[in-house]
Amino acid sequence: MASDLTTHDGQPLHKSLAKALRREKLRALVLIAPLLLFVLITFVSPIADMLFRSVENSIVPKTLPGTTRTLQSWDALGEELPGEEVYASLADDMMLAQELKIHTRLGSRLNYDQPGIASVFRKSGRQVKKIDSSAHLDGFIQSNEIWTKPESWANLRKNGLWPGAFPASSTAWSNWVRFMKSDEGDDVDLSEKTPSGLAYSALYFDLQKLSDEQWRQLTDSDNETTRAMFNGLREASAQFPAANYKEQFLDMHDGWGKLDNWRTLHRLSPPIVDSYYWASVDRERTSDGVVHKPENERIYVKLFVRTILMSALITLMCILLGYPIAYLLATLPTRTSNLLMILVLLPFWTSLLVRTSAWKVLLQQQGVINNILVWLGVVGDDGRLALINNMTGTVITMTHILLPFMILPLFSVMKTISPSYVRAAKSMGASDWTSFRRVYFPNTIPGIGAGSILVFILSIGYYITPELVGGTKGVFISNRIAYHISSSLNWGLAAALGSILLVAVLILYWAYDRIVGIDNVKLG
């Protein structure tokens, strides 16, 4: 039947309707576009960036492109150090890294996972320049003089097998070009130069991996220079003087001889890693798979649990204290309730640090509360209560600081509950308790919900108050996040911890929605 209905211009009604609605929606979208963009730019993209930092690890493959590649074929589970080839590529990568002054940055990144490796990089930086890389270079030159000429490399780079069959050489070549540009300026002319001995070493190791077919392609090439370069090279290279990069690195710093350092480097070679997340839950990836960290280093899981439990406790305290106050505010005559309201808002407008410090004065052992208790004879002078620098301190202080966030939504919800509901209940014979429990209280649940969500989410992210009054047992996970952001600069771990916290909040929000229903939340 509906299809029979048409508008005056003959269009089917439902099509016309859909079109009109679409236009409406588009118009609405244009109207909210500035806000949408604002939210995207200032809110969504920083969070996305933070989430990405928790897995991002490109600094390792970017700083050590050759080493991370050659390390792939090393047996990380074995008991042998990597071979000469890996050390050769390390020398090549480090030469460029120290020129660009990025080797120490990599060292401090790796140090998060392997304490002590930072100084290996820092101390090796200066000495890498002195590495002797002449062994393979001499071999090439002895095999054919053409290797001293720049056209040998120009020719090689034009060959069809470059860069596929020459991965180490191509990395070494681009490292060398970047090194020269950094050293002598961007307009340096490289056409008259041959690369350093490190590139010849890379080429040597590439040649070892060429197949017979590839050798044939080179030695039977149509190109005269190519034939000259590679004819007899295969046999000659077997007689090349042995390189001693490994020995030189071990002399430079004994850290290069530690298996654990190499395993860490091997594990952190990919551009995306999960190590920050494992660290966030007190675990680490080792050669035996993911294992628990030693007992004396486990801290984050404990702090996550503590943060959530204490936030829940603070929320509960806020409900217990805030509910009667909100009730008074909503039911007292306006003049009195306005005065009370100011008392609620006054601390709200006072600086957070001032309020926290005020609590220190009140709660400490020689503080106001303990002095009064001693004076009243409730506790002895040597039995003063420890009210601060522990969980108690955090709960008391944060309950006070967050109380307005509970009172205000409760108040605005209670304000809308008509007094006649309770009167009606009572007129039908309900006792005070029953009318509160069955009529008034259910009407205030949306306010409790809104207040609880506010208080809980705020307290989960608090760090300055716990830091000042929490001592050692009353600090939250946010204190560790702050430490990693501002002191240790381990932003990856901070991002992972933050992401876990975000997910925990989202799960709790989802659970809240399932149990209470988010439609039941009212801010007024």
Partner 1 sequence: MSKMSTLATAVALASTLGLGATATAADMPECENCADSMTIVSWGGAYSKSQLRAYHEPYTAATETEIVNDESSAEAVAKLRAMNEAGNVTWDVVDVVAADAIRLCDEGLAVEIDADNDLAAAPDGTPASEDFGDLLVSDCFIPQIVYSTTFGYRTDNADWNGATPEDICAIFDTEKFPGQRSLEKRPIANVEWALMCDGVSIDDVYSMLETDEGVDRALAKLGTIKDQTVWWSAGAETPQLLADGEVAIGSTYNGRLFSAIEEQDQPIAILWDAQMFDLDGWIIPAGLSDDRLARAKHYIKFATDTQRLADQAKYISYGPARASSAPLVGKHADLGIEMAPHMPTDPANAQNTFLYNYEWWADNRDDLDAKFQAWLAN
* Interaction between residue 383 and partner 1 (CB under 8 A): no
Q: How many residues bind partner 1 (CB under 8 A)?
A: 42
Runs of H (alpha helix) within 187-333: 197-208, 212-219, 224-230, 233-237, 245-252, 259-267, 275-280, 300-331
In the complex, the smallest distance separating the C-beta of residue 160 from partner 1, rounded to whole angstroms, is 39
Q: Is 117 in the site for partner 1 (CB under 8 A)?
A: yes
- Residues 421-480 close enough to bind partner 1 by CB under 8 A: 467-468, 471-473, 475, 480
Cα end-to-end distance, the chain, whole Å: 46
Half-sphere exposure of 276 (CA within 13 A, CB side): 25
H-run or E-run covering 285: strand 283-286
Question: Is 485 among the residues that bind partner 1 (CB under 8 A)?
Answer: yes
- Nearest approach, Cβ of residue 280 and partner 1 (Å): 12
Which of 112, 240, 256, 411 is the binder for partner 1 (CB under 8 A)? 112
Q: Which two tokens stand for residue 423?
A: 């009167």
Of the two residues 212 and 295, which places its CB atom closer to partner 1 in the complex?
295
Q: C-alpha distances in angstroms, 96 versus 55, 163, 178, 257? A: 26, 20, 7, 22
Q: Is the dihedral of CA 35, 37, 41, 47 positive or negative?
A: positive
221 is a site residue for partner 1 (CB under 8 A): no
Radius of gyration of the CA atoms of the chain, in A: 35
Nearest to partner 1 of 105, 415 (CB atom): 105
487 binds partner 1 (CB under 8 A): yes
Q: In angstroms, rounded to a whole number, what is the distance separating the alpha carbons of residues 20 and 40?
A: 28
DSSP 6: B
Work out whether 397 is an interface residue with partner 1 (CB under 8 A). no
Binding residue for partner 1 (CB under 8 A) from 174, 237, 337, 488?
Answer: 488
State the Cα–Cα distance between residues 100 and 92, nearest whole angstrom.
13
Give the residue among 455, 407, 459, 67 at the shortest CA–CA distance from 245: 67
Residue of the chain from 69, 105, 181, 522 that contacts partner 1 (CB under 8 A): 105
Whether the link from the prior residue into 241 is cis, omega within 30° of 0, is no
Which residues 263-322 are close enough to bind partner 1 by CB under 8 A? Answer: 294, 296-299, 302-303, 306
Is residue 292 helix, strand or coil?
A: strand
In the bound state with partner 1, the residue whose beta carbon lies nearer, of 122 and 522, is: 122
Does position 351 interact with partner 1 (CB under 8 A)? The reply is no
x/- letters, 491..510, toward partner 1 (CB under 8 A): x-------------------
Which of 16, 56, 84, 119 touches partner 1 by CB under 8 A? Answer: 119
The span from the CA of 398 to the CA of 315, in Å, is 9
Stretch that binds partner 1, among 6-14, 100-108, 226-234, 400-408 (CB under 8 A): 100-108
Instruction: For partner 1, give the closer residue by CB, 32 or 489.
Output: 489
Where does this chain bind partner 1 (CB under 8 A)? 101-102, 104-105, 107-108, 111-112, 115-119, 122, 294, 296-299, 302-303, 306, 364-367, 389, 467-468, 471-473, 475, 480, 483, 485-491
